[in-house]
Amino acid sequence: MAVRRPDARGGRPRWRRRAAGLALAALLTASACTAPADANTSLTAREIDAALEHRAAAVLARDQAGYLDGLAPGAAKFRAAQRTEFANLADVPLESWTYEVLGITEQDGEWATAEVELRYRIAGYDTAPVATRRTLELSRDGGRWSVYADRPAEGASDQLWHQGEVDVVRGAHSLVLGVGRSEEELRQIADTVDLAVPAVSDAWPQSWARRVVVLVPDSTESMAGLLGSPETSYRGIAAVTTGEAGTTGKRPAIADRVIVNPQAYATLGSFGQRVVLTHETTHVATRTSTSAATPVWLSEGFADWAAYRAEDRTPDLIAPELTGAVQRGDVPAALPVDEDFGFDGDPAALARAYESAWMACALIAERWGQEKLTAFYAAVGAHPKRDGAVEQAMDAVLGTTPEEFTADWRDYLSERLG
């Protein structure tokens, strides 16, 4: 996922890549009679799965009474919270909503704790589901399991409707879901994404959904809550793109979401907002061609190239930090490595990394052509591993080597920025 922070001087945005992982541990009671214990756990999982099917059906049918019927009768506070959460979802156009029981982590007679995966799709926008893990606590009464607690699993995060009533604004190519934001603000974001989608499609002509879902929480703190990270990680960051990188055809990607930080986004002018959302939309478009084999300089450089290619800005204005370095005689010796894109380092060095990546993709587009640039991107992402991916793609698509390309790129920097 790429994240963007506006430069304090009003210059080009800065970026950070973030990855998150989640481990699930199943705790089964050990005893001399392990087979009956396993059988009992399996039966409980099946019973809970059946109960959650009714819960999911109620969500899709907008059946509040049916939804509340699946909750433990005595959990008054939880029922009130769930009634509000259900109402918050009212305007969200859902196509699917399913649960899968991943494991029973605790069970003691008539109560159990289950780890489940919730998967849902937005109608007309998601070609793959959003997946999020939840921890449910349930009680059984008369053979029926009812939910009395529902929270994010360890390492997971809440969804937008957990934060408040979701307002929905539709664009030609966008669906903007907001909490605590004005309709005018959400409409402006939708209009900007509607401009970004055709621009990205022109830069990336390969097949993609050409539809983008954008989430706009009410604050930076709420944005961090959606991402399961501390608020300090996102102060000043205008937007992020979430999703699972492409898997080179082995399995479908998880749906992307562009998440806007309303405070930071508002500090940008129309140019900065357009660049931010075009960059993020590029990540959505290229997701299925992006894999662990794709270096950060290529994914971020291509997204910047797509965002800036139609803008009336000279290279020195787009890449001020790199321009200053080149004019001081400090031409980078090599393309930036993944670690150079870390947010915790020197902001100027981070800006030079992004600018260097953008110039590398600009060089390919200028010298070999746009078709070769997109083919190169796809070829790298299709490689089964990081080692050799860039080398093989440069040879097959560009007819060059990393060493020759680096030399050409350094000359290009000197010519364009010196």
CATH number at residue 117: 3.10.450.50
What pLDDT shows up at residue 343? 66
277 and 314 fall within a common domain: no
Residue 285 sits in the same domain as residue 295: no
Whether residues 178 and 143 share a domain: the answer is no
The answer on 279 and 371 residing in a single domain is no
Contact 151, 78 (CB under 8 A): no
Same domain, 391 and 302: yes
Whether 183 is in a domain gets the answer: yes
Classify residue 376: in a domain, yes or no.
Answer: yes
Q: Is residue 328, in this structure, part of any structural domain at all? A: yes
pLDDT score of 350:
87
- Domain assignment present for 401: yes
Same domain, 309 and 284: no
Let me know whether 199 and 274 are in one domain. Answer: yes
Domain boundary among 154, 185, 212: 154
Domain boundary among 154, 189, 216: 154
- 334 neighbors 357 (Cβ within 8 angstroms): no
CA distance 25 to 78: 26
Beta-sheet strands, E only, within 46-109: 94-108
Answer yes or no: do 188 and 274 share one domain: yes
120 and 199, same domain (yes or no): no
Query: In this structure, are 417 and 295 located in the same domain?
Result: yes
Contact by Cβ (8 Å): 283, 303:
yes
* 232 is a domain residue: yes
pLDDT score for 252? 43
**SS3 state of residue 233:** helix
How many folded domains does the chain comprise?
3
Query: pLDDT digit string (tens) for 324-366?
Result: 999 999 999 999 999 998 766 678 898 999 999 999 999 999 9
Q: Contact 104/112 with Cβ under 8 angstroms? A: yes
Same domain, 301 and 366: yes
pLDDT digit string (tens) for 299-326? 999 999 999 998 999 999 999 999 999 9
pLDDT for res 89? 97
Residue-level pLDDT at 40 = 62
Tell the residue number behind the tokens 């992307």, with chain if given: 256
Classify residue 245: in a domain, yes or no.
yes
**pLDDT at residue number 85:** 97
Give the three-state DSSP class for 298: helix
Residue 369: how many CA atoms within 13 Å on its side-chain side? Answer: 6
d(CA 356, CA 285): 22
Which one, of 334, 280, 333, 270, lies nearest residue 302 by Cα?
A: 280
CA atoms within 13 A of residue 163's CA, in its CB half-sphere? 24
Is the Cβ–Cβ distance between 97 and 129 less than 8 Å?
A: no
Contact 132, 56 (CB under 8 A): no
At 65 the pLDDT is 97
Which parts of the chain sit beneath pLDDT 70? 1-40, 244-254, 343-345
Question: Do 258 and 171 touch, CB atoms closer than 8 A?
Answer: no
pLDDT of residue 49: 95
Q: Are strands 257-260 and 239-242 parallel, antiparallel or unpaired?
A: antiparallel
> 10 lies in a domain?
yes
Residues 14 and 51 in one domain: no
CATH value at residue 256: 3.30.2010.30
The domain in which residue 345 lies consists of 291-418
Query: Final residue of a domain: which of 128, 154, 180?
Result: 154
215 belongs to a structural domain:
yes
User: What pLDDT sits at residue 22?
Assistant: 30
Distances 266 to 111, 271, 302, 304 between C-alpha atoms, Å? 48, 12, 25, 20
